[in-house]
Amino acid sequence: MDGSNQDDVPSVATTCPYCGTGCGVRATVRGTAVTVAGDVAHPTNYGRLCVKGAALGETVSTTGRLRHPMRRTANGLERLPWPDALDAVADGFRQIIERHGPDSVAWYVSGQLLTEDYYVANKLVKGFVGTANIDTNSRLCMSSAVAGHKRAFGEDIVPVSYADLEEADLVVLVGSNTAWCHPILFQRLLKAREQRPSMKLVVIDPRRTATSEMADLHLPVRPGTDVWLFNGLLSYLHQHGVIDTGFIEAHTQGFARTLAIADNTAGDLRSVAAACKLDPGVLTAFCQLFASSERVITAFSMGVNQSSSGTDKVNSIINCHLATGRIGKPGAGPFSITGQPNAMGGREVGGLSNMLAAHLELDVPAHRARVQAFWQSPRIADKPGLKAVDLFEAIDEGKVRAVWIMATNPVVSLPDADRVRRALAKCELVVVSDVMADTDTTAYAHLLLPAQGWGEKDGTVTNSERCISRQRAFLPPVGQARPDWWALSEVARRWGHGEQFPYRSAHEIFDEHARLTADGNHDDALPRYLNLGGLAGLDRTDYDRLPPTRWPVLSDTLGEPARVFADGRYYTADRRARFVPTRPQPPAGRLDEDYPLVLNTGRVRDQWHTMTRTGLSPRLATHVAEPFVDLHPQDALLSGVREHELARVSSAHGSCVVRVRLSGDLPRKSVFVPIHWNSQFASDARVGRLVNPVVDPVSGEPEFKHTPVRVEPFSVAWHGFALLRDDPAAGRDPRPHAAWWTRITGDGYTRYELAGRRVDGDWPAQARRLLGVSDPDADWLEYEDPTAGVFRAVQVVDGRIHACLFASPRPDLPSRAWLSSLFGKAQLDAADRVGLLIGEPLARGADTGATVCSCFGVGRKTIEAAIRGGCTTPAALGAQLKCGTNCGSCVPELKGIIAELRARQTAT
């Protein structure tokens, strides 16, 4: 890690922990401050970073971290030493397994684990517990893509790289707000188009987004109708002779039946346009563009995957590429863009309940035998385990009695999230490994294990284009945080498997993983495209120096491996790709009178997942501060909700209360709620509670993008906001006094957006309770319009703003910006103080100077201006400004000012 900084503090090259783009960053530590910059040497981003990545330094604070293993007792959480905690985990799981069998326990892990952690978890569960009950939040993210890849290619292979995107003539983005969710990738795309304007960008998304704004063509499809669209495209391509029959005959199977179904269901563009609610002209333009672009990439994300027919959607896209032979060539192919930093690494180690390991299959005896032999494990899972949604259902039903949750927050992120909460509440043993002490999920843990955060842990991640990058530690672990692989290995050791889990560092695990990918990996045995054989045997130093590397990395070939599928060979038994017939299915949830709108969920630009990290950054809080529901103005009207007010969004499963936004980005009948907010940041904004627990039958991925809901006004007596200087000792908390709240991290202060059903007593008293000001002599300013219900109060301590509260019956409160900025000021000046209750600075021109004429409130600066303008007597001033014309007591002063100015003029 060479230091390239001017001031010789060495920086550490590592990988951003957010989306699946996988940007390289360089972290520099100076004292307690961490600064982060893009890594110019990283082939993903070449030094660029998005706003989330750039703010990483603000999120590595130790605030709120889980520092010690903890156990929940009748008296709350108590600390305990690691060995005792690990004993408790090992004993707890062992007892339940002994009584109820291996399928009575489960692991729920995360695309934020490093590959090494993932590998050890998967090995422990499948090879030593003997169950496949290990699933991951990647199930919520790209399992439909995995299933689609496996059905079409025989293996989970992403056949496109970022460089291909830049070489394409047409990029079709389906269900992907790339501009916000993968900003650096999107920037690369835009730059490529800028340099080569013939390149076209098509966006298929029901919403108007930052991405669609940049598109050459936007297809605002009806939610959930992608299969109609791509079947229609396939049929169109066939009708217009754009099919590569040679390729189809030589390298695929199943085209005829697939085409027949496409023709039957979407053989006519007019009916497709109707089904998808598209302008037929726009649809035709898209089909023509696709047909005429040899180099076409169809990139897709959650809009495709998170669906009850997500796998079919993926295959309907792949079908179009197979039919035209536009795969395995530069600038062409289907491209799944993932949302987590290491979803891909998890897939490589097999960390999902329907995988085994290293792209080997659970249901193939030969695969099981090979893996068991490699692991030297006493047993091996032989049937798929429970997928995420089913897993928590099984907990709720008492079939699974112990769960170890690692690096994820299912109480927020899973569908029907209240059921998840209920399930955890009654589960016999809940172990949670996390970096944060207080999350919606840790609240249900019996045992809490402190995990290392980004910047502390060490290992590898794989991004969306199969590029393996190192995450390197640059900070000491907080408290007693340890690697997850270590905790898992320690439990394995307690179960008597110490020999098979002898790891002392991440590189040993990576080495074992690499060897497993190469194990039997040749045409005569178990050929897989995933092969890290060339990385096996790295020593610690080589591992530490590992540059970003796209797999496969073969041990026996020199240089770059050939482009995947360039040879037309796939990883099915007959090495041919499969067309998968896709019969369009509408989304599972049907709209009715009670639930007349479709809920779509997704990200906002500056937050990530459940905000456990991005929620710590003041900078990131400024873009979108509050959870919201965005809807069409006409639907808002019909629902009786108004912009900026609060609304309850309810489904048959649950509800949330969020701010109404009418951005104009949504079509009729659709509403959008972001996924990020949870009980740590808002009173009632976990959108997961609403989402219907409907899953794709193949992938098990939930339908996050389509839940029937209704929107209703959430009536409150007052809206307000409070800003409180951060002061842990004060323990002030306005939340208990509000019916609704959102907490927003500020720089040195915390902001609360509040709303309440009533005012207890009068506002001055309520405000003091809310801000925790009990001292009657506090320096306390207030403004009150009691009949209008408007109230404002500010507390000043030592000449600095300490707290403030603004409330009104309507959400017409002043901007928070200026008040917030005052928390950074060492001392309020007189002008600041005057502005406090206004909530904004008095305008510069508002300063008329010291009052000279009190009767008419005329200031010295105004008078001086009038004198310069030609008023040379008090009478003239009085005629113009009225000063001195009432009591006359200022006339001498007026004379004095006139004389003074005259003297000054003569002097100059």
Q: Is residue 766 within 8 Å of 643, Cβ to Cβ?
A: no
Q: Is residue 318 within 8 Å of 121, Cβ to Cβ?
A: no
Among 787, 815, 906, 908, binds another protein (CB under 8 A): 787
Among 502, 547, 633, 857, binds another protein (CB under 8 A): 857
* 846 near another protein (CB under 8 A): yes
Binding residues for another protein restricted to 817-836, rule: CB under 8 A: 833
* 837 near another protein (CB under 8 A): yes
* 1 near another protein (CB under 8 A): no
Which CB atom, from 66 or from 828, has the smaller least distance to another protein? 828
Cis peptide before 552 (omega within 30 of 0): yes
H or E stretch at 21: none
Which CB atom, from 787 or from 906, has the smaller least distance to another protein? 787
Among 187, 663, 851, 880, binds another protein (CB under 8 A): 851
Give the integer Cα–Cα distance in Å for 697 and 72.
38
Instruction: Name the token pair of 235.
Output: 């049929």
Span interacting with another protein, options 62-70, 154-162, 350-358, 887-895, rule CB under 8 A: 887-895
Among 562, 788, 831, 879, binds another protein (CB under 8 A): 788
Dihedral sign, CA of 492, 493, 497, 498? Answer: positive
Number of residues that bind another protein (CB under 8 A): 34
Least distance in angstroms from the C-beta of 404 to another protein: 55
Binding residues for another protein restricted to 767-786, rule: CB under 8 A: 779-786
Least distance in angstroms from the C-beta of 887 to another protein: 5
| Cα–Cα nearest to 210, from 674, 644, 602, 605 | 605
Which CB atom, from 106 or from 793, has the smaller least distance to another protein? 793
Which CB atom, from 628 or from 791, has the smaller least distance to another protein? 791
Least distance in angstroms from the C-beta of 796 to another protein: 6
The CA-based dihedral angle spanning residues 641, 647, 653, 654, taken in that order and rounded to the nearest 10 degrees: -160
Least distance in angstroms from the C-beta of 757 to another protein: 23
* 75 near another protein (CB under 8 A): no
Which CB atom, from 81 or from 892, has the smaller least distance to another protein? 892
Least distance in angstroms from the C-beta of 803 to another protein: 14
* 838 near another protein (CB under 8 A): yes
Give the integer Cα–Cα distance in Å for 456 and 307.
36
Which CB atom, from 546 or from 781, has the smaller least distance to another protein? 781
Which CB atom, from 399 or from 769, has the smaller least distance to another protein? 769
| Cα–Cα nearest to 625, from 752, 812, 813 | 752
Which CB atom, from 167 or from 784, has the smaller least distance to another protein? 784
* 847 near another protein (CB under 8 A): yes
What does each C-alpha distance from 116 to 47, 113, 157, 535, 785 come to in angstroms?
A: 26, 8, 20, 14, 61
Determine the Cα angle at 512 with ends 120 and 366, to 5°.
Answer: 85
* 721 near another protein (CB under 8 A): no
Span interacting with another protein, options 110-118, 163-171, 676-684, 880-888, rule CB under 8 A: 880-888
Give the integer Cα–Cα distance in Å for 765 and 782.
11
Among 254, 789, 809, 888, binds another protein (CB under 8 A): 888
Binding residues for another protein restricted to 248-307, rule: CB under 8 A: none
| CA 729 remoteness from chain centre | 32
CB-based contacts of 151, cutoff 8 Å, min separation 6: 311, 315, 578, 580, 698
Span interacting with another protein, options 320-328, 487-495, 562-570, 838-846, rule CB under 8 A: 838-846
H or E stretch at 255: helix 255-266
Give the integer Cα–Cα distance in Å for 494 and 509.
19
Give the integer Cα–Cα distance in Å for 438 and 76.
13
Least distance in angstroms from the C-beta of 628 to another protein: 24
String of b and e for 720-755 (b: at least 16 CB within 10 Å)? Answer: bbbbbbeeeeeebbbeebbbbbbbbbbeebbbbbbb
Least distance in angstroms from the C-beta of 900 to another protein: 19
Least distance in angstroms from the C-beta of 892 to another protein: 7
Among 304, 796, 803, 866, binds another protein (CB under 8 A): 796
Give the integer Cα–Cα distance in Å for 624 and 604.
7
Span interacting with another protein, options 88-96, 239-247, 467-475, 788-796, rule CB under 8 A: 788-796
CB-based contacts of 896, cutoff 8 Å, min separation 6: none
Residues that bind another protein (CB under 8 A): 779-788, 790, 796, 812, 833, 837-838, 842-843, 845-848, 851, 854-857, 859, 882, 886-889, 892
